[in-house]
Structure 1
């Protein structure tokens, strides 16, 4: 609300499943894969792109909707 953002975006290396889990726990939705978009320690890697929209955001004090 303070920054009046409609969308927040994040990327995670596809090999970093723990980071992906954290993003999903925060409410981010995986939107796609960027193929060979970065180099980590000399190795080409893919990234997952995540997005979180204002209307989907649930502050930690609110319960998450049932899935």
Structure 2
């Protein structure tokens, strides 16, 4: 998906957000090269509970495709 975003669509930036309590999702984004850029305080409601959101960004010039069979697709 990132290859398509940066190579085909020629995007400069891809952004994502995750609930601050969801550490596993934050780790996945960081492994993909995303940088945590900030916190949106009380940005969403999850199961009736107000929660903060971490915002992650990845710039095209920072992105490096992963090696291996999944990278070819």
Q: Could you list the structure 1 runs, at least 4 aligned residues long, displaced by more than 3 angstroms after superposition.
A: none
C-alpha distance after superposition, 1:8-37 (max 9, x if no partner): 000000000000000000000000000000
1:50 maps to what in 2? 56
**SS of match in other structure, 2:52:** strand
TM-score by length of 1: 0.90
1:26 maps to what in 2? 32
1:3 maps to what in 2? 9
Aligned-CA RMSD value: 1.1
TM-score by length of 2: 0.82
**Structure 1 position 35 matched with structure 2 position 41:** yes
Structure with the largest fraction of helix: 2
